[in-house]
A and B are shown apart, each in its own frame.
Chain A
Amino acid sequence: MNSGMGLSPIIPDHRDGEDTIAKRAHYSPPWADVSIIGVAGSSGSGKTTLSHAIVNSLNLPWVVIMSMDSFYKPLDPESSKKAFRNEYDFDAPEAIDFDELVNCLRDLKAGKRTKIPNYSFEKHARLENSTVIYSPHVLILEGIFALHDPRVLDLMDMRIYCEADADTCLSRRIIRDVRDRGRDVEGCIKQWFAFVKPNFENYVQPQKNVADIIVPRGIENRVAMSMVTQYIERRLLEKSTRHRAALKSLERGYDSEPLSDRVLVLPLTPQLRGMSTIIQDIDTSSEDFVFYFDRLSCLLLELALNNAQFKEHVIETPQGHNYRGLTGKGEVSAVVVLRGGATFEAGLRRIIPDCRTGRVLIQSDVRTGEPELHYLKLPNNINEHDTVLLLDAQMSSGGSALMAVQVLVDHGVPQNRIVFVTYSAGRVGVHRLTKVFPEVTIVVGSMVADFEERWVEKRYFRC
């Protein structure tokens, strides 16, 4: 059973360009190496309640609870009939699809997005739709067998076993199954003595031996709760420190190495200088600022679109002459890095009125400056788009740009289809981005010397 699918513990990244692996610097987003916390215990022992309490006390947007209930094996017709008669053993490890679970956890550990199946207790089947999980920093895996499979144990940072009195467990289970899962009381009791109790003795309880902490009395146990949250907080802090240090290390060589030929700076024409003067002048009225910024963003986007893919296209003019021209190869879509990138949207609509537009909210932590991914909504088939314009008003250190590109790459967009467009960029940021993603094209309005705070969006949105 363990030899399952023979996956190596490190999942290779298939999206790397063939010839660039050697030169490529590595960037690991903070959600790679997610901390996985396992919460096991008897049915009705309060695992779910404990998990939610941990999430609440952490109060962070990047903590996800994954229930092992999602990983019940889909039942064949015969087992399904048994299940409806309450004769199928859901409380044995065999009912769980551990191979699928291990795949999901490995994907998440590698920082990738993964799909979690949805299991319906009413139908005893997996539903068509699955839930996508992407970029959690902490994942809590809860289920009676959370600590059962050694492959899962290897991926865990902390193993918790919830302990509760058997009477408490049974009564909680009856209430839950009748209220939430559409069962009757007799069926529940039948299941308890036929399956739950023997399985508990054979498989659930032995998990205590591999647990790091055993928590009696669930959330009432304040001491245990604070131990757990403090441990997780410390892990997150370490990770954040490592992330920032990694970002810092990508700076090396920014002032000595020339810019990559994929960095395209808008030619400094008199008009561009004139418009920039108005945009940069602190005394410019908001009305003028928005007008000139929109005008300039059109020029930037026109320049960016030259990096899309075109194919030859011969047409006939109204007079019947042929012209050997070009036409776009596929769809061009955009992803706005909020809030700054939204300043480009007026310009974008002037050029591609119906451009499909995804949104990513990346905020820098006020204290540490570490970029954090808060929100993500991308077009479904973004991996099929010919060109994805990634828009942000400014890039100085490149932290959020790196993160945004990583998000697109994780969603299947090849690097060479990404065009990052920004009004101003610092050398450090451009250097970092091209080091990690050498095939991404960067279109810049003007290069600025060093770190600059995000003033463009403040001026544009007037707050």
Chain B
Amino acid sequence: MSDQPAKHSQVGPTQCVGPDYRTESQKPVATVSTEIEYDNVITLPQTPQLIALLTMIRDRNTDRADFIFYSNRIIRLLVEEGLNHLPIVEQTVTTPVGRTYAGLQFQGKICGVSIMRAGESMEQGLRDCCRSVRIGKILIQRDEETSMPKLFYDKLPEDIADRWVLLLDPMFATGGSAIMAVDVLKSRGVPEERILFLNLIASPQGIKNFATQFPKLRVVTAFVDQGLDEKNYIIPGLGDFGDRYYTM
């Protein structure tokens, strides 16, 4: 099918998806996340359920209520995966039936930082997993004259240098504003390795830009798409996330 607009003809990889006990012929085929060679990028397992959720939010015919609901489900999975990369210590506890359970305890304080406005849509998902988490905000807009991203506003926890930061922005295209946001965080004393950048859909270009500039920062994404169009929108993407979540 070549009804895609001009120059970008790359197609994402396809694969049978489903549980292992089913045979290939029992599993439907879908486009899955593009392979990425950087090991600081964590892509969620390409389960049929995740693909179905993404299909829902990519579909132009999905209404806002459904868009919000299904986005939130993916965001919660992203947050759950992101939290796996926080430091831990061993801890043994006694269970209600009197057994000992060799478990662990989370170490280190965290906070969320959302890149306004689309990143704010991910705050609910974060709060669903981490009650009363501190959340900072950064406003970055494209400068009309230079068409470069420009920092307009930030409000971050005072002790952010002592925290792990979950940086939130759903669409990771060129990564222009995310790079600026990371620079802001670093200028406040947050080391790169304590930043986790959570996004729903990433582009290979954005991931490459990040990996070269911030090799120690970890990116957690649900799906790596095929590429960018001439206006730097992700292909196939899902449109303007902020508009679809907040105003459309």
Contacts and interface: CB of A to CB of B under 8 A. Distances in A.
Interface of A: 261-262, 264, 269-271, 273-274, 276-277, 280-283, 291, 295, 298-299, 302, 305-308, 310-313, 315-328, 350-351, 353, 441, 452-453, 455, 458-459
Interface stretch (B94-102, B135-143, B156-164, B175-183): B94-102
A197 to B, nearest CB: 67
Residue from the set B51, B128, B229 with the largest chain A CB neighbour count within 10 Å: B51
B94 A281 contact: yes
Contacts of A270: 83-86, 88, 104
B236 A306 contact: no
A133 to B, nearest CB: 36
A262 B21 contact: yes
Contact of B131 (A262, A291, A452): A291
Nearest to A298: B76
A-B pairs with lowest CB-CB distance, top 6: A277-B103, A325-B55, A318-B239, A321-B236, A281-B93, A315-B59
Contacts of A262: 21
- Counting contact residues on chain B (CB < 8 A from A), the size range is 35 or more
Given A312-B29, A317-B238, A321-B236, A306 B55 contact: no
Prevailing SS type, chain A contact patch: mixed
B77 interface: yes
Nearest to A458: B96
Contact of A274 (B54, B76, B106): B106
Interface of B: 1, 3-5, 14, 17-21, 28-31, 47-49, 51-52, 54-56, 58-61, 69, 73, 76-77, 80, 83-86, 88, 91, 93-97, 101, 103-106, 128-129, 131, 229, 233, 235-240, 244
Given A271-B84, A274-B88, A313-B55, A302 B238 contact: no
B18 A306 contact: yes
A323 B58 contact: yes
15 contacts: A261-B20, A274-B105, A277-B91, A277-B93, A281-B93, A299-B80, A306-B18, A308-B48, A310-B17, A310-B51, A315-B60, A319-B235, A324-B29, A326-B51, A326-B55
A318 B238 contact: yes
Contacts of A310: 17-18, 28, 48, 51-52
A319 B236 contact: yes
Nearest to B14: A324
A218 B77 CA distance: 67
B49 A277 contact: no
A291 B86 CA distance: 20
Contacts of A319: 5, 229, 233, 235-237, 239
A323 B31 contact: yes
B88 A323 contact: no
Contact of A280 (B93, B105, B238, B239): B93
B104 A320 contact: no
Contacts of B103: 273-274, 276-277, 280-281
Contact of A302 (B4, B49, B91, B128): B49
B179 to A, nearest CB: 24
B20 to A, nearest CB: 6
A313 B18 CA distance: 15
B93 A325 contact: no
